[in-house]
Amino acid sequence: MPRPRRAYVPLGERQELVSLSLRERVGVRAPFLAKRHVARPHPRPLSRRERGEIQAPLALALTFVVLGLAVAFHRASDEKSAPPLLDGNARWWKGNLHTHSLWSDGDDFPEMIAAWYRRHKYHFLSLTDHNVLSEGQRWIDAAPRAKAIAKYVDRFGPNWVERRSVLDKEKTKDQVRLKPLTEFRTVLEESGKFLLVPGEEITHKYGKFPVHINGINLRDVVLPVDGPSVTEVSRVHLRAVESQAKKTGWTNLAFINHPNYGWGFRVEDLLPLDELRYFEVFNGHPEVKNYGDKIRPSMERIWDIMLAVRLQRGQPPVFGVATDDAHNYHETSAKKANPGRGWIQVRSPHLTPESLLKAMKTGDFYGSSGVALEDLKADEQGLKLKIAGVEGVRYKTQFIVTRADTPLDAKPRMDDKGLSISGEYHEAIGTIAAEAEGLEPAYRFKGDELYVRARVISDCLHPNPYQKGDVEMAWTQPNVRKSAK
């Protein structure tokens, strides 16, 4: 069923932080209901004696009835407003796993950012600042942040915002405290509605090549460590996240961020990473070069090469994540790293970090820059989608495959300065095997594919795109053909 076209809500729109929950509202109504029943006038005036004899038991009986009704009513409403724990049915949850705040180089307070995502109907968010978890004591200078602080006070109130004056070189300067996640999460989270997941962008480099990896649902910060190559620097951080899961018992995951940023990763740096399970196929930061250039492959091309090589080796696939990598919350422009460009939809029963991340580990999620799916079925037969269509928008779905007999050898390549870049691979890697219009595209395996994945392209321009002219899209995970596993 087509839904009405969504309106784009600009940055800075204000809305009530947390509305009174249904449970709280019911809690106010129940005693009122009881009072109204007890106070109902009697049909015939009774003598004082009669009242003494009759009214007491009657009032008592009425009180029991009313109390019973109130309890039943309260319980029924309570169950309706309770978090979805009882049915256990999986549903889609929308979230972003790459965001920056003033804890590193983002330009807004973490509460303001979380409020933006909550207001824009996200269900979960991970604030992933560079080499830091949002924890410990931190004060920042107020002077360069006057605009952000004014909005912060306006939104959360002067009692929430903590200020101090300190003596610095015999002058006083004003500071504002950055609140840690443990202090602000309860103000923004709501069971079954909005969840904050602790995260970090483990930020390092090898030589001049950036190596950025997001760790999601971390208990402890992972400090960057040197290594002898881009591959080894990545490996040590992927392993650090995994060993933390073993130590803490927390379900976590790690993904490689924006491989083309600073041309940090060649395909050949990614291929030896047996530990790799996820990478960013789309990142909304304007400098990350999602689409490659004339001589370097795009994120999707890198993905197909990784899938072809890994699956032929008998290794598990790599899943693609779409994120914002938002840094800028005050000015909306294609030149700024704004929120709202890329996200994932995860299908899991519960809105908890464990439930979401476990679903991601099985590949039950997709990346999006605007297109939503109602259903997604990946089985031995192939891949079936049901697009949540928006009225007036047309959709084209491309099914991308690599066949088992595709040659995997690559010709080495250099850039114009003689630096090694990603090799040239066979063009049959990641070919469009079929295209379908409409809301229910499907692909049936022919029998020689290693995998199939779908890319849904709408004709709706993104309201605040990564690159001018970008349309809203979605990317499913690869469905690996059974005998190819």
C-alpha span between 230 and 332 (Å, rounded): 34
DSSP alpha helix (H) spans, 39-127: 48-50, 56-81, 110-119
C-alpha span between 464 and 256 (Å, rounded): 24
269 or 364: CB nearest Zn ion: 269
Q: How far is the CB of 265 from Zn ion (least distance, A)?
A: 12
284 or 430: CB nearest Zn ion: 284
C-alpha span between 294 and 301 (Å, rounded): 13
Which residues inside 373-412 make contact with Zn ion, applying CB under 5 A? none
Helices and strands: H and E segment counts in the chain: 10, 24
The answer for residues whose C-beta is within 8 angstroms of residue 484's C-beta and 6 or more apart is 311, 404, 449, 450, 451
Give which of 179, 96, 178 is closest to 145, Cα–Cα. 178
Q: How far is the CB of 279 from Zn ion (least distance, A)?
A: 12
DSSP code at position 261: G
Residue 418, both tokens: 């003689």
CB contact at 8 A, 323 and 258: no
Task: State the virtual CA torsion across 295, 299, 301, 302 in degrees, nearest 10.
Answer: 90
By rule CB under 5 A, what string of x and - marks binding of each residue 309-328 to Zn ion?
A: ----------------x---
Q: How far is the CB of 215 from Zn ion (least distance, A)?
A: 12
Give which of 233, 280, 235 is closest to 261, Cα–Cα. 280
309 or 337: CB nearest Zn ion: 337
Which residues inside 139-178 make contact with Zn ion, applying CB under 5 A? none
231 or 283: CB nearest Zn ion: 283
Residue 3, both tokens: 């839904």
Number of residues this chain uses to bind Zn ion (CB under 5 A): 4
DSSP code at position 466: S
Q: How far is the CB of 103 from Zn ion (least distance, A)?
A: 12
Residue with structure tokens 């990896």? Answer: 213
96 or 479: CB nearest Zn ion: 96
Q: How far is the CB of 297 from Zn ion (least distance, A)?
A: 19
212 or 347: CB nearest Zn ion: 212
257 or 338: CB nearest Zn ion: 257
Q: How far is the CB of 322 from Zn ion (least distance, A)?
A: 14
Residue nearest Zn ion, Cβ-based: 212
- Tell me the one-letter amino acid at 272: P
Q: How far is the CB of 470 from Zn ion (least distance, A)?
A: 19
145 or 285: CB nearest Zn ion: 285
Q: How far is the CB of 226 from Zn ion (least distance, A)?
A: 18
108 or 449: CB nearest Zn ion: 108
Which residues inside 260-299 make contact with Zn ion, applying CB under 5 A? none
Q: In whole angstroms, what separates CA 56 from the centre of its chain?
A: 60
62 or 221: CB nearest Zn ion: 221
The answer for residues whose C-beta is within 8 angstroms of residue 333's C-beta and 6 or more apart is none
127 or 385: CB nearest Zn ion: 127
257 or 402: CB nearest Zn ion: 257
Q: How far is the CB of 203 from Zn ion (least distance, A)?
A: 6
Q: How far is the CB of 325 from Zn ion (least distance, A)?
A: 4
Q: Does 257 bind Zn ion (CB under 5 A)?
A: yes
Instruction: Output phi, psi for 126, to 5 deg.
Output: -115, 120
Distance between the two ends of the chain, CA-based, in angstroms?
Answer: 36
Kindly tell me which residue out of 123, 145, 151, 212 binds Zn ion, with binding defined by CB under 5 A: 212
Q: How far is the CB of 96 from Zn ion (least distance, A)?
A: 11
Which residues inside 325-344 make contact with Zn ion, applying CB under 5 A? 325
Which residues inside 65-104 make contact with Zn ion, applying CB under 5 A? none
C-alpha span between 389 and 391 (Å, rounded): 6
C-alpha span between 458 and 431 (Å, rounded): 20
By rule CB under 5 A, what string of x and - marks binding of each residue 181-210 to Zn ion?
A: --------------------x---------
CB contact at 8 A, 208 and 262: yes
Q: Which stretch binds Zn ion (CB under 5 A): 173-181, 249-257, 330-338, 352-360?
A: 249-257
Buried b (16+ CB within 10 A) or exposed e, 351-381: bbbebbbbbbeebbbbbbbbbbbeebebeee
Q: How far is the CB of 313 from Zn ion (least distance, A)?
A: 28
**110-119 vs 181-188: helix crossing angle, rounded to 10:** 30
Positions in the binding site for Zn ion (CB under 5 A):
201, 212, 257, 325
